[in-house]
C-alpha cells in the first residue's frame, strides 16, 4: 500500500492528550462561567451560505474567508461567531425572548498568512446580550463581572479590565469640532502605547491637519489617568458642552458604580480613555482586558456595546453588548509565557487496574464499582512486563494503580499504589473508593493557569 | 441598507435555545461516560489536507466530501472522526502511550442529498482503543459496557446491544468453501430483516450461484437464536472445522463471559449472527445497538474491532476497537419519536432577579451572592411592565423569580416566587440560596430521554 505522509495543516492547532486536557479544562470553565450569568448555549453551523455570511461585504476579513462551491451552492466557513448570531436572531426573532443572552464557543476560520501564534482555525468564546429595540445600561455594567469571573476561574489573577465609552470619545471630538475626523483620531490614539504621545501629536497635526493647540487638547484628554473616581471627576469638567458626551459620561458612571456590587475588585478595572475598539461597530461601553505581566500580548478579551446587530438581515433594531475570548490564541500565549499550571491533572483516568490473574472477572467487577462511584477507570490487560504497566500509568499521569492478584482476591481486598508517593496499601473496595475520591478532589482544585 | 434574507443551509441542524440545551445535555452525558472509562478527549482540525483525508480514496464517501482549494492548498472537511484519528496516531505515534484510548465528539461533513433526517453537518461521538501491534480481547469485551452506560445515562432503557464476531462469519463461509464469496453473502444476509429468508435464499442461489443445500446451511446458521448461552452452545457444534471460526468463537465467548462483570444486564445484550458491519474494515467483534420500540431507526451505535487503523500513513500495525454514536441523527430521531423528556430543565438560568427600585445595587449584590453559590442568575432590568417580566421568566422556563423592592431591602430579605406552584415566600438570602439549590438539584435529576 502506498504510504501518505501524515501531517496537520499549518495554522491548525492539534494538541497532544495532556495539553488537550488543559485546553478543554479552560473551555469548560469559560462555559460554566458564562452559564452562571444566565447565558444560553448556542451552536450554529460552521458552513453558511456566502450571501448570508458575507452580507456586510468588503474589508480585510472577506479576503481571509474560506469560500467554495459545492454543487450549485456558494458556501463559506464562519470567520467569527457574531455574524452567525446576527443571522440566528434575525431568522428566529419571533421564537426568542429578549433580552436574548447567548454564549457560543466554537471554531472559526480565517485564512491568514501563516506565522507563529496565528491560527487559521481557532476557538472563540463569545457572549452577547441582545435587546429588542432597547437594552438597559445595567447589561453593560455586568460584562466586566463576567470577564473577571471568567479569568479568575482559569486561575489568572494579575489582569485588568479596561473600560471606556465611545459616546465620550465621539462627544469629545465633537466639542473640538472634529466630529468628521473622529475615526482617524481614534485610530491614531489607539497607537499611543506603541508609538508614544509625540508621534501621535505629529500624526494628528501633519497627517490630519489638526491645529497644534487642539492636538494638545486631545493629548491632555487621553492623558487623564488615576483611579476610576479620579478619571470620572476629571471628565466631569467637560460636562455641559456636548449632549452625547454627557450621556456617555452618565453611562460610564453607572458601569463604574456597579462594578463592586457585581464582584469586580477595584484593582481589576480601570477607566482607560485610549481604548476605542472596532470603529464602525461599537457605540457605547467598550472593554479590553490585559495581563499585567504580559502587556505585549495585548487584549485577551474585548468587546463592547453596539446599536445594530443584524441590520443586514432585518429592519428591526437589535442593540446589544458582547465580548469575545480567543481561546486558541490565549492558550498558545499562556503556554509561551510558561503560565500553564503543570499541577493541573490531565490524566485520562484516575485509576489504572492491573489484574495479576488470568481470570479478569475480579478486575472487571472492581472497574465497574469504581466507575459507578464516578472514578475514571481503566483496566490494563496488555501482555507486558509489570514494569511496563507501571510506566504506562506514569506516562499518562494516572495517580493510582490498583493491583489485583490471588492474594488480594482471596482477602477480598485491593492493593492501591499511590504513584506520586510510591506507597502501596491494601484496602477494601469501599475504603479504596473513598480514598481515591478524596485524593482526586484535592488534585482537581488546581486551576489551568499558574502565575 | 439592502436586506439579505437570513437563512440556514438545508441539512444543517440549528436549534432553538431549549432544544439546544437538551442536545448539549446529551452530548455532555456521552462525554462524561466516555471519560469514566478512561478515554482521553481529542480535538482535531475540521479541515485537513485532501491528500491526507482522502488517502484511502474512491467510494461513495469521496463524492460527498466538501473539497476546495485555498491559495495553493487542496483542502477537505473531515467526513468522519476515524480518518483524522488514524492520521493523529500515525503522526504522533512516538509521543503517545498504547493502548491509546481516545474519545472525540465533533462535527463532520458529508454533502449528501438533502432529505428529511439526513444531515450534511452532524456530530459524531466516537471512542477507540488503539493497540501498538496487539490489543487484548478484554478491550472488545468492555465496549458493550460503554454503550450500555452511555444510553442509560441518557435515560434510554429499552435497547439491546447486538454482538457478533467477523471471524466466526468468515470462518463459517470458509467451511462451506465460500471464502471468496463471503463479502457478497454477508451483504445479502445483512438484508435479512428487511427482505426475509426466502428472498435471501433466492439471491444466494440465483445471483451468486450457491448450491441450494449450501444456501440452506447458511440460512440455518443465521437462524440460530436464543439466549447468549444457547447461541454459543449452538456455535460449539461447528467447532474444529476451521481455525479462524474457532478463534472467533473463543473471542465471542470471552466478550459474553465478561458482559455481566462489566455491568451489562443480560437482557441488554444479544449475540446476533446476522450483523457484519463495514465489510472491508472490521475483523473481530462487531456491535450494533437498536431501540426495542423503534427497530425502524436501525442501529444507533455501531462499531467493532479492526486490525489496521492507519495503514495509509504508517507501516506499523495499529489494531483497535471503536464505536460511534451519530448524535445529530439520534437527536432528530428521538424528537421524531416523541422521546425527548419535556421535564428536562432547559432554562438558561435558575433564578431571574427583578429589581423593584431604581437603585440596582441590592439586586446586583444578590446576583453576585447567587452566582457565588453556583446558581445561574440573570437580572431583568428592561423597562417593561411587571407582567411582561414574569412572562419572560415563564417563556424561558426559569423556575424562580426573585423580587427585590423597598420592603424586602428594608427587611434584608428577598421574595422568592416559585414559577411552577405560583407561591411566593419572603426569605433571607441564605435560606433562598439553600432553597433554590435543593430545588434545582431535584429538577436536574431528569434525563434527556423519556420512554
Interface contact flag, B9 A68, Cβ < 8 Å: no
**C-alpha to C-alpha distance for B397 and B342, rounded to whole angstroms:** 11
Q: Give the per-residue pLDDT at B392.
A: 98
Instruction: Name the closest residue on chain A to residue B347, using Cα atoms.
Output: A40
Interface contact flag, A314 B52, Cβ < 8 Å: no
Average pLDDT over residues B364-372: 98
Percent of chain A scoring above 70 in pLDDT: 99
Report how far apart, in Å, the C-alpha atoms of B300 and of each of A188, B165, B342 are.
Answer: 58, 19, 22
**pLDDT over 80 (residue B59):** no
**Which of B90, B312, B382 minimises the CB distance to A99?**
B382
**pLDDT over 80 (residue A160):** yes
Class of domain A17-336: alpha beta
Q: Give the per-residue pLDDT at B1.
A: 66
Q: Give the per-residue pLDDT at A420.
A: 94
**Contacts with B393 from chain A: Cβ below 8 Å:** none
Residues 6+ apart with CB under 8 A from A406: A356, A357
**C-alpha to C-alpha distance for A55 and A45, rounded to whole angstroms:** 17
**pLDDT over 80 (residue B114):** no
Q: Is the peptide bond before A99 cis (omega within 30 degrees of 0)?
A: yes
**pLDDT over 80 (residue B363):** yes
- Cβ distance A99 to A131 under 8 Å? yes
Question: What element of type H or E holds A297?
Answer: none
**C-alpha to C-alpha distance for A5 and A24, rounded to whole angstroms:** 28
Distance of CA A415 to the CA centre of its chain: 43
**Contacts with B40 from chain A: Cβ below 8 Å:** 17, 20-21, 348
How wide is the angle at C-alpha B308 spanned by C-alphas B179 and B250, nearest 5°?
60
**Contacts with A46 from chain B: Cβ below 8 Å:** 46, 107, 121
| Residue-wise pLDDT tens digits, A271-316 | 999 998 866 789 999 999 999 999 999 999 999 999 999 999 999 9
**Contacts with B97 from chain A: Cβ below 8 Å:** 392, 395-396
Report how far apart, in Å, the C-alpha atoms of A194 and of each of A190, A296, B199, B308 are.
Answer: 9, 10, 79, 55
Mutation site, A2, A5, A6, A12, interface B, largest B CB count within 10 A: A6
How is chain A split into domains, by residue range? 17-336, 351-444
**pLDDT over 80 (residue A203):** yes
What are phi and psi for residue A290, nearest 5 degrees? -130, 145
Q: What angle do helix axes B212-222 and B192-202 make, rounded to 10 degrees?
A: 160
What are phi and psi for residue A92, nearest 5 degrees? -105, 15
Report how far apart, in Å, the C-alpha atoms of A334 and of each of A155, A237, A391, B172 are.
Answer: 12, 41, 29, 58
Question: What element of type H or E holds B331?
Answer: helix B327-336
Q: Which of A397-406, B271-280, B395-404 has the lowest mean pLDDT?
A: B271-280
**Contacts with B436 from chain A: Cβ below 8 Å:** none
Alpha helices in A37-191 (DSSP H): 50-53, 59-64, 82-91, 138-154, 166-175, 182-189
- Cβ distance A353 to A318 under 8 Å? no
Of B82, B60, B48, nearest to B324 by C-alpha is B82
Interface contact flag, A392 B97, Cβ < 8 Å: yes
Of B244, B335, B339, B344, nearest to B293 by C-alpha is B339
**pLDDT over 80 (residue A44):** yes
Residue that the C-alpha cell 509489570 belongs to: A386
**pLDDT over 80 (residue A60):** no
Instruction: Name the closest residue on chain B to residue A70, using Cα atoms.
Output: B66
Give the E-state strand segments of A262-380 in sequence order.
Answer: 269-271, 282-291, 302-306, 320-326, 351-355, 377-379
**C-alpha to C-alpha distance for B172 and B246, rounded to whole angstroms:** 10
What are phi and psi for residue A427, nearest 5 degrees? -150, 165
Of the pLDDT bands very low, low, confident and very high (cuts 50, 70, 90), residue B278 is low
Distance of CA B20 to the CA centre of its chain: 16
How wide is the angle at C-alpha A416 spanned by C-alphas A412 and A417, nearest 5°?
155
**Contacts with B8 from chain A: Cβ below 8 Å:** 44-45, 48, 87, 91
**Contacts with B87 from chain A: Cβ below 8 Å:** 6-8
Q: How far is B425 from chain A (nearest CA, A)?
A: 23
Give the cell for residue B353: 432577579
SS3 B423: coil
Its sign, for the CA torsion A165, A171, A175, A181, is positive
Of the pLDDT bands very low, low, confident and very high (cuts 50, 70, 90), residue B130 is very high
**C-alpha to C-alpha distance for A126 and A303, rounded to whole angstroms:** 9
SS3 A197: helix
**pLDDT over 70 (residue A234):** yes
| Residue-wise pLDDT tens digits, A62-104 | 889 999 999 999 999 999 999 999 999 999 999 999 999 999 9
Interface contact flag, B145 A368, Cβ < 8 Å: yes
**Contacts with B396 from chain A: Cβ below 8 Å:** 97
Average pLDDT over residues A415-427: 97
Same fold, A17-336 and A351-444: no
**pLDDT over 80 (residue A256):** yes
Instruction: Name the closest residue on chain B to residue A87, using Cα atoms.
Output: B6
**C-alpha to C-alpha distance for A195 and A430, rounded to whole angstroms:** 65
- Cβ distance B214 to B178 under 8 Å? yes
Classified by CATH at the fold level, domain B351-444 comes out as: Rossmann fold (3.40.50)
Q: Give the per-residue pLDDT at A220.
A: 95
Q: How far is B218 from chain A (nearest CA, A)?
A: 34
Q: Give the per-residue pLDDT at A194.
A: 85
**pLDDT over 80 (residue B58):** no
ipTM tops 0.90: yes
- Cβ distance A293 to A312 under 8 Å? no
Let me know how long chain A is. Answer: 451
Interface contact flag, B36 A377, Cβ < 8 Å: yes
What are phi and psi for residue B201, nearest 5 degrees? -60, -45
Question: What element of type H or E holds B101?
Answer: strand B100-109
- pLDDT averaged over every residue in chain B: 95
DSSP single-letter state for residue B338 = T
Mutation site, B8, B150, B429, interface A, largest A CB count within 10 A: B8
**C-alpha to C-alpha distance for B42 and B31, rounded to whole angstroms:** 11
Q: How far is A196 from chain B (nearest CA, A)?
A: 38
Average pLDDT over residues A238-254: 98
DSSP single-letter state for residue B242 = -
Distance of CA A394 to the CA centre of its chain: 32
**C-alpha to C-alpha distance for A431 and A435, rounded to whole angstroms:** 6
- pLDDT averaged over every residue in chain A: 95
Q: Give the per-residue pLDDT at B191.
A: 86
Residues 6+ apart with CB under 8 A from B404: B353, B354, B355, B356, B357, B362, B363, B366, B414, B415
| Residue-wise pLDDT tens digits, A352-363 | 999 999 999 999
Furthest CA-CA distance within chain A: 93
Residues 6+ apart with CB under 8 A from B422: none
Q: What is the dihedral of CA A273, A277, A279, A285, to 10 degrees?
A: -60
Question: What element of type H or E holds B284?
Answer: strand B282-291
Residue that the C-alpha cell 471464502 belongs to: B179
**Which of B4, B12, B380 minimises the CB distance to A47?**
B12
Q: How far is A37 from chain B (nearest CA, A)?
A: 5
- Cβ distance A176 to A218 under 8 Å? yes
**C-alpha to C-alpha distance for A68 and A48, rounded to whole angstroms:** 11
Q: In what order do the strands lie in the sheet with B351-355?
A: B377-379, B351-355, B400-404, B414-418, B424-427
Amino acid at each position: 500500500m502506498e504510504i501518505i505522509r501524515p501531517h496537520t495543516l499549518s495554522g491548525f492547532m492539534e494538541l497532544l492528550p495532556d495539553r488537550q486536557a488543559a485546553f478543554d479544562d479552560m473551555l469548560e470553565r469559560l462555559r460554566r462561567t458564562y452559564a452562571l450569568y444566565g447565558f444560553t448555549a448556542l451552536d450554529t453551523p460552521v458552513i453558511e451560505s456566502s450571501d448570508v455570511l458575507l452580507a456586510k461585504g468588503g474589508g480585510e476579513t472577506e479576503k481571509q474567508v474560506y469560500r467554495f462551491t459545492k454543487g450549485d451552492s456558494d458556501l463559506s466557513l464562519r470567520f467569527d461567531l457574531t455574524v452567525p448570531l446576527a443571522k440566528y436572531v434575525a431568522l428566529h426573532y419571533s421564537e426568542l425572548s429578549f433580552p436574548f443572552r447567548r454564549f457560543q464557543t466554537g471554531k472559526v476560520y480565517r485564512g491568514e498568512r501563516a506565522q507563529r501564534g496565528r491560527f487559521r482555525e481557532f476557538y472563540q468564546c463569545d457572549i452577547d446580550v441582545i435587546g429588542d429595540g432597547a437594552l438597559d445600561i445595567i447589561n453593560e455594567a455586568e460584562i466586566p463581572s463576567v470577564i473577571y469571573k471568567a479569568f479568575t476561574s482559569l486561575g489568572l489573577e494579575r489582569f485588568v479590565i479596561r473600560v471606556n465609552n465611545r459616546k465620550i470619545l465621539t462627544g469629545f471630538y465633537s466639542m473640538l469640532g472634529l466630529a468628521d475626523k473622529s475615526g482617524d483620531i481614534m485610530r491614531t490614539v489607539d497607537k499611543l502605547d506603541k508609538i508614544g504621545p509625540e508621534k501621535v501629536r505629529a500624526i494628528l497635526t501633519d497627517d490630519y491637519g489638526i491645529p497644534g493647540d487642539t492636538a494638545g487638547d486631545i493629548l491632555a484628554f487621553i492623558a487623564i489617568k488615576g483611579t476610576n473616581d479620579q478619571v470620572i471627576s476629571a471628565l466631569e469638567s467637560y460636562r455641559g458642552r456636548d449632549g452625547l458626551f454627557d450621556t456617555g459620561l452618565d453611562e460610564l458612571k453607572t458601569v463604574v458604580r456597579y462594578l463592586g456590587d457585581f464582584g469586580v475588585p477595584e484593582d481589576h478595572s480601570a477607566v482607560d480613555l485610549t481604548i476605542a475598539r472596532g470603529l464602525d461597530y461599537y457605540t457605547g461601553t467598550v472593554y479590553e482586558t490585559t495581563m499585567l505581566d504580559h502587556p505585549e500580548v495585548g487584549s485577551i478579551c474585548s468587546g463592547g456595546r453596539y446599536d445594530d446587530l443584524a441590520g443586514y438581515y432585518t429592519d428591526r433594531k437589535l442593540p446589544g453588548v458582547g465580548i469575545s475570548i480567543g481561546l486558541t490564541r490565549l492558550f498558545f500565549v499562556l503556554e509561551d509565557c510558561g503560565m500553564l499550571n503543570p499541577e493541573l491533572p490531565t490524566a485520562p483516568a484516575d485509576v489504572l487496574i492491573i489484574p495479576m490473574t488470568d481470570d479478569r472477572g475480579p478486575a472487571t467487577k472492581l472497574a465497574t464499582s469504581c466507575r459507578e462511584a464516578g472514578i475514571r477507570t481503566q483496566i490494563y490487560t496488555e501482555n507486558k512486563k509489570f514494569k511496563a504497566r507501571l510506566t504506562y500509568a506514569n506516562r499518562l499521569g494516572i495517580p493510582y494503580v490498583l493491583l489485583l492478584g490471588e492474594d488480594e482476591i482471596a482477602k477480598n481486598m485491593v492493593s492501591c499504589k499511590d504513584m506520586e508517593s510510591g506507597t502501596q496499601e491494601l484496602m477494601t473496595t469501599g475504603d479504596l473508593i473513598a480514598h481515591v475520591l478524596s485524593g482526586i478532589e484535592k488534585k482537581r482544585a488546581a486551576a489551568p493557569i499558574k502565575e
